[in-house]
Amino acid sequence: MTKEQVLRTLQAHPDAFVSGEALSRELSVSRTAVWKAVDQLRQEGYPIESVPRRGHRLASGSDVLSAEGIRRYLAHDALEVRFFPTISSTNTVLRQMALENAPAGLALVAGEQTAGRGRLGRSFFSPARSGLYLSLLLRPDTPAAESTLLTSCAAVAVAEAIESLAHVQPRIKWVNDLLLNGKKICGILTEAGLDCETGRMSYVVIGIGINTRPPEGDFPEALSPIAGSAFGDLPIPDLRNRLAAQVLDRLLDYAANPGSDRLFEKYRDRLMVLGKPILILSPGRDPVPALALDLERDYGLRVRDEKGVEQVLHSGEISIRVQDA
């Protein structure tokens, strides 16, 4: 496809002019075909500058999210990616599709959410251009309790994807937030549908929201002390397409064996709470100070309260605040 080839060539020479003649020679297509391709790419939002006698150049900071763009980097053929410039919530829409028999491996990716949802009924700030919002549908046919493991798969997948692109090391705040420099850069919301007869999951929707860049006009006041961006101003061309592909590929790999020791070790290594004082937060109750001791093999967090009583926390309604993050 000429458009794809033109894009790839311009991406290989960020910020440099490539002449129409060179493009048509290299891709063995007419100059008119090159013009058409450039025009289509510009309509899709790619910041391509065209100057007579010099050619076309793509700004190195270009970050246009699209299904085609993601597919370019994707290793798993079985994934079907659908892109929405704006959507209410990728989780809400994908859950509806799941009920209408959409197949496992369907991923919805959005550039913006108008009703992004977080855990415990919270909303998730999902502005345009500075984040990646995606949900993946799986049908694992396993007991409902295993949906927690899939959240852990997602946490590790996202942390590794960010690390491979930016060479930074996001940490996991139990149970499913990713933090960088003490600020939340990613949240994960896993929602499952249950087959009541078998007690097994009929579908799981794993929703991931990543703050890729500082939002235009910054985070809302309530979020700015706690929210950060994974990539700041790091120049990474085609960032969100590459990030989405890496996250989906890694997530599918881990989800094929979510109970693995390998995943558990990776999750535990990135956990930032162990040995730290925390507050246990449950709805309708005062925060309880405790010490985070260790991660159980089922991903429960073993804690000791101030009276010396130990218990294991499981995600559900509970969240924690780390005292000296």
Q: Where on the chain is the footprint of ligand BTN (CB under 6 A)?
A: 89-91, 113, 116-119, 122, 124, 133-135, 177, 187-189, 207-209
Least Å from the CB of residue 5 to ligand BTN = 32
Least Å from the CB of residue 12 to ligand BTN = 31
Least Å from the CB of residue 188 to ligand BTN = 6
Least Å from the CB of residue 299 to ligand BTN = 16
CA distance 196 to 59: 53
* Shortest-Cβ-distance residue relative to ligand BTN: 187
CA distance 224 to 228: 7
SS3 sequence, 145-202? HHHHHHHHHHHHHHHHHHHHHHCCCCEEECCCEEEECCEEEEEEEEEEEEECCCCEEE
Least Å from the CB of residue 81 to ligand BTN = 14
- Locus of tokens 């251009």: 129
Least Å from the CB of residue 15 to ligand BTN = 32
CA distance 283 to 317: 7
CA distance 151 to 144: 12
Which is nearer to ligand BTN, 55 or 187 (by Cβ)?
187
Which is nearer to ligand BTN, 41 or 188 (by Cβ)?
188
Give 214's DSSP letter: P
Q: 141: which 2 tokens? A: 């046919």
Least Å from the CB of residue 49 to ligand BTN = 33
Tell which residue, 130, 101, 79, has the closest CA to residue 251.
79
Contacts of 31 (CB under 8 A, 6+ apart): 20, 21, 24
Cβ atoms 247, 157 nearer than 8 A: yes
